[in-house]
Structure 1
Amino acid sequence: MIKFEHILLGLFAQRPWSGYDLKKWLTEGGKFFRSNADQSQIYRLLARMEGNGWITHTVDPREKRPDAKVYSMTERGRAELLEWASSPYVPPARFQDPDFLVRFVFGGIVDPVALRTLLDTELAARRDQVARHRGRDRTPRFVDAIPEVDVDRARLLLELSHIRGMSEIDAWITWLEEMRVALDAAKVTTPPVAPPPSP
């Protein structure tokens, strides 16, 4: 499971950030990685990360505004980020999980084989999910439902929700396949080498 610290370390790998700039990025471009991160939470986390020796700060004097702390990554932070980035990816039950997305977006810090393995692992997990669950009996069963439950409407809503879920996971699989082709074509990823067949 992705920790907020790893998202921030991935950002610090690219450049120094102030707490204000991190909040702005998380509210705009990063909202799919971490939602509802308030400013005080970010500053508490930055203090903890600095206490761990992962980041350090300098003070940037601002005219007619409060001075800003600008944080940058240390060698210990770099080691922590690389350890997380190279750790095995275990696909969660829910697709489109932030752990995959963060690993994918920050995939420039891992080697090409690891990036391709990440894509292959997620793709295999989602194909397997579809194969195991697509044809299952989805008949909802209502036993002693409360009087307010409109059973026919509840059945319809469950089915419509399922149809939406099917289209979303199918689109996710298509996107993963497209990413694999595009990154291989750009020579960004390297397919893992298959072991030779047994004699």
Structure 2
Amino acid sequence: MALEYGLLALLSFRPLSGYDLLKWVETEGQFIRSRIHHSQIYRLLGRMVADGLVDYRVDPREGRPDAKVYRLTEVGREALLAWVRSPYEPVSRFQDPDFLTRFAFAASLDRKAALRLIDTELAHRRAQIARNRDRDRALVFEDPLPEVDQGLTRRVFEEMHRYGAASVDRWVEWLEHMRALLAGPAEGKSVR
């Protein structure tokens, strides 16, 4: 579902062809979503046209197939803004693609909604850290397979915990940075 809203958000910037949308998803979009086949985008655009979220005009191309250039409709605009402003429920894994998609576009469409999104994610991650950082992580082995190297396994799991803790700390640091950016003065616009 986030892909649909991501495409709507891209079309809020300017009209784009399906090929242009695909190029964006494969380059910039790879940071918020991965493994999207081009047929998914074209199928989704067809459904979005049928649902009245976008419309298109045909752009004739000499010596090449004509291109459909899509633009957001008023219905699409309303759906996009409703998604940006809707409540967000964090998932257990941080750096969730749906969060990143929503945040990336909420920041440009509705600063207050983006701040609520950041605050929700920050509160969830801080509570998650408080619950898990110092938990008992002792591994218990009872009649393990002979191949299990218990000492190495304990060391590997401890290093995985350290890596995960450092990663989530970096995520929280980035969220705090983005919150400060959003809370600062608007560039050329008033805060909504």
Q: Taking structure 2 as the reference length, what is the TM-score of the superposition? A: 0.89
Distance 1:78 1:15 in 2: 12
1:14 maps to 2:16: no
**C-alpha offsets along residues 70-89 of structure 1, whole Å, 9 cap, x if unaligned?**
11111111111111111111
1:75-108 CA distance string (max 9 Å, x none): 1111111111111111111111122212221122
Identity of aligned residues (%): 51
Paired residue for 2:183?
184
Q: Which moved more, 1:162-171 or 1:16-25?
A: 16-25
Q: How does 1:1-199 map to 2 (within 5 A)?
A: 3-107=2-106, 108-110=108-110, 112-187=111-186
Inter-partner Cα distance in structure 2 for 1:124 and 1:138: 24
Q: Deviations over 1:149-184 (max 9, x none)?
A: 333222222211111110011011111112222322
> Which residue type is aligned with residue 25 of structure 1?
W
Instruction: Assess if the C-alpha contact under 8 Å between 2:6 and 2:102 holds in 1.
Output: no
Q: Any conservation in 1 of the 2:59–2:67 contact (CA below 8 Å)?
A: yes
Query: How far 1:26 moved relative to its partner?
Result: 0.9
The residue type paired with residue 55 of structure 1 is V
Q: Which has the higher helix share?
A: 2
Report deviation, 1:144: 4.6
Cα distance in 1 for residues equivalent to 2:136 and 2:91: 23
Q: CA deviation at 1:148?
A: 3.7
SS in 1 for 2:91: coil
How far did residue 45 of structure 1 move?
A: 0.9
Offset at 1:147? 4.1
Aligned residues between the structures = 188
The secondary structure found in structure 1 opposite 2:88 is: coil
* SS of aligned partner of 2:77: helix
One-letter amino acid of the counterpart of residue 70, structure 2 = Y
Flag structure 1 segments of 5+ consecutive residues without an equivalent. 191-199
Paired AA for residue 94 in structure 2: F
How far apart are residue 143 of structure 1 and its match? Answer: 3.8
Higher mean C-alpha displacement, 112-121 vs 51-60 = 112-121
Change (3 A) 1:83 1:185: closer
Q: Secondary structure at the match of 1:57?
A: strand
RMSD over aligned Cα, in angstroms?
1.9
Alpha carbons of 1:49 and 1:140: their partners in 2 closer, same or farther (altered >3 Å)? same
Misfit runs of 4+, over 3 Å: 142-149, 187-190
Q: In the alignment, what sits opposite 1:195? A: none
- What's the CA shift for 1:186? 2.6
Q: Please give the alpha-carbon distance, in whole angstroms, between the structure 2 residues aligned to 1:63 and 1:10.
A: 29
Q: Structure 1 length normalisation: TM-score?
A: 0.86
